[in-house]
Amino acid sequence: MQLELTTQQKADQAIFRAFVDETIAPNAAQHEQAEALPETLINTLAQARYLVATLPPEAGGLGMDMLTYGLLTEEVGRGCGSVRNLIAVQGMVAHAILKWGTLAQKGKWVAKIGQGETVAAFALTEPNIGSDAGNATTSATQVGNQYILNGHKKWISFAQRADLFLIFAQCEGRMGAFLVERNTPGFTTAPISGLLGLRASMIGEIQLDNCAIPQENLVGKIGFGLDFVATTSLDYGRYSTACGCVGIAQGCLEASQQYTHERTQFGVPIKSHQLVQQMLTNMIVNVGAARLLCYQAGYLRDKKSPDAIRSTMIAKYFASTAATTIANDAVQLHGANGCGPDYPVQRYLRDAKIQEIIEGTSQIQQIKIAELTPLLRRKG
């Protein structure tokens, strides 16, 4: 396993950090208040080839390896959780088309998503269906050379803004994945506002009322929707989420170190108090542990190891729960200031909690990790 970054990866990490500090972090609070990401930021990310950095250069990416992509998403997550969510979702849809789509679908959409010409959304969750995705009720009925979609999707990131939607629907008892453009008759979206966290992710719900799409918009085959298309997309998003959680935790640690150095009580900086030192130490240890788990997952993904999926789940589970604990402690260390808008830790706390739910809840991760971990038997 790669425990130390290469010289190139360290150089890339410094570039990512500088980009985030200049372009993303200063406006994160504004984006959250507006509950939207501006078009200028999406364009900036596309110009930097960060929207889907893992795509090849001809498709608007950088051909980035997964460990380096993890470094990028960590830094972006430190700056703004919703921006990190944007690049995750664009990657989920672009790579789903790249892996499972037809040549025509790849030629039409992948580069447009990578270059920011098309914003994509991944639509699996429904009002009454979250973890139990196999029982989604949205339907697709083939009529001639079309599919007619009916149903309701909810909690869909960037539903308010996306041009292209990857919709999952049941077709004769089997799940299919379908590409639906925003301007398709029978397709409507509605915004969801006032969320706990990731408020700038432009989350919304989708209504499909006799929405007719060409049969050429089917991604893969009927029956591939959940076990192949959705599963590989969620695995990609899960890795992004894990690394983004390290970014949240790192942001909390840095903010807490700065605040406890400057804030004085009883005549000394509060970092001098032993219980504060204990909280900071716990942050340092857990940030480091979460980061190493993400490095391991990225390394195994680059090696195409069969254990990469399980390793990614472990990283996501640990990093998301650690980020929530660390963010909670960061708010505590900031006291009343941690509850107000002038410090980022309250935003980190709200965003961290969301990470324990998206791309598979912590409880689902626990179940899958236990199922996927082999029993090691002693010899003799």
Residue 148 within a domain: yes
**Same domain, yes or no, for 245 and 318?**
yes
Query: DSSP 3-state assignment of 193?
Result: coil
- 43 confidence band (pLDDT: 50, 70, 90): very high
Q: Is residue 1 part of a domain?
A: no
The answer to whether residues 166 and 255 belong to one domain is no
CB 93 within 8 A of CB 119: no
Instruction: Give the pLDDT mean for 327-354.
Output: 96
Q: Which domain holds residue 108?
A: 7-114
Q: pLDDT tens, 122-147?
A: 999 999 988 888 888 999 999 999 99
Mark whether 212 and 232 lie in a shared domain. Answer: no
Residues 271 and 359 in one domain: yes
Residue 370 — pLDDT band, cuts 50, 70, 90? very high
- Looking at the fold, whether 213 and 276 belong to one and the same domain comes out as no
The predicted pLDDT at position 134 comes to: 86
Q: If you write DSSP's letter for every residue of 282-303 in order, what string do you get?
A: HHHHHHHHHHHHHHHHHHHHHT
Task: Compute the distance between CA of residue 271 and CA of residue 331 in angstroms, rounded to an integer.
Answer: 15
Question: pLDDT per residue over 145-167, tens digit each?
Answer: 999 999 999 999 999 999 999 99
Last residue of a domain, one of 91, 114, 137: 114
- % of the chain exceeding 90 in pLDDT: 93
The model carries a pTM of: 0.95
Residue 51 falls inside a structural domain: yes
> What does the buried/exposed string (b/e) look like for 261-275 if buried means 16 or more CB atoms within 10 Å of the residue's CB?
eeeeeeeeebbeeee
pLDDT tens for each residue of 172-221: 899 999 999 999 999 999 999 999 999 999 999 999 999 999 999 999 99
380: pLDDT strictly greater than 60: no
Closest CA to 40 of 94, 88, 83, 102: 83
- 133: which 2 tokens? 């995705």
- DSSP per position, 83-127: HHHHHHHHHHHHHHHHHHS-HHHIIIIIHHHHTTSS-EEEE--BT
Distances (CA, A) of 363 to 34, 310, 316, 366: 32, 14, 11, 5
Q: Are residues 167 and 90 in the same domain?
A: no
Distance CA 224, CA 337 (A): 50
Quickly state the pLDDT bin for 375 (edges 50, 70, 90).
Answer: confident
Q: How many CB atoms lie within 10 A of CB 203?
A: 22
Residues 58 and 90 in one domain: yes
Q: What pLDDT score does 185 carry?
A: 97
- Residue 185 amino acid letter: P
For residue 379, being part of any structural domain is answered with no
Mean pLDDT in the chain?
95
Q: Cα(192)–Cα(354) distance, rounded to whole angstroms?
A: 15
What number of other Cβ atoms are within 10 A of residue 131's Cβ? Answer: 12
Domain count, the chain: 3
Please indicate whether residue 225 or residue 132 has the higher confidence score (pLDDT): 225
Residues annotated as catalytic (active site), given as ranges: 359
Residue 2 belongs to some domain of the structure: no
110 lies in the same domain as 140: no
Confidence of residue 1 (pLDDT cuts 50, 70, 90): low
Q: For residue 81, which amino acid is it?
A: G
The CATH number of residue 148's host domain is: 2.40.110.10
State pLDDT tens for residues 18-27: 999 999 999 9
End-to-end CA distance of the chain: 29
Answer whether residue 354 shows pLDDT above 80. yes
pLDDT tens, 257-293? 999 999 999 999 999 999 999 999 999 999 999 999 9
pLDDT at 236: 96
Domain end point (choices 98, 114, 130): 114
Tell me the CATH number at 59: 1.10.540.10
Query: What average pLDDT does the segment 247-259 reach?
Result: 98
> So what's the pLDDT on residue 376?
67
- Checking if the pLDDT of 120 tops 80, the result is yes
Which of 165, 196, 225 is the last residue in one of the domains?
Answer: 225
Interatomic CA distance for residues 147 and 257, integer angstroms? 56
Predicted pLDDT at 287: 98
Contact 241, 316 (CB under 8 A): yes
In a domain, 177, yes or no: yes
Whole-angstrom distance, CA of residue 10 vs CA of residue 16: 10
Cα 376–chain centre separation:
33
> Are residue 38 and residue 106 in the same domain, yes or no?
yes
Judge if 92 and 136 occupy the same domain: no
Per the domain annotation, does 377 fall within a domain? Answer: no
Tokens of 161: 């803004």
pLDDT score for 377: 65
* Same domain for 220 and 233: no
So what's the pLDDT on residue 379? Answer: 64
CA dist 323 and 331 (Å) reads 12
Q: Are residues 291 and 252 in the same domain?
A: yes
Taking each helix axis from N to C terminus, what angle separates 308-334 and 362-372, rounded to the nearest 10 degrees?
150
pLDDT of residue 133: 82
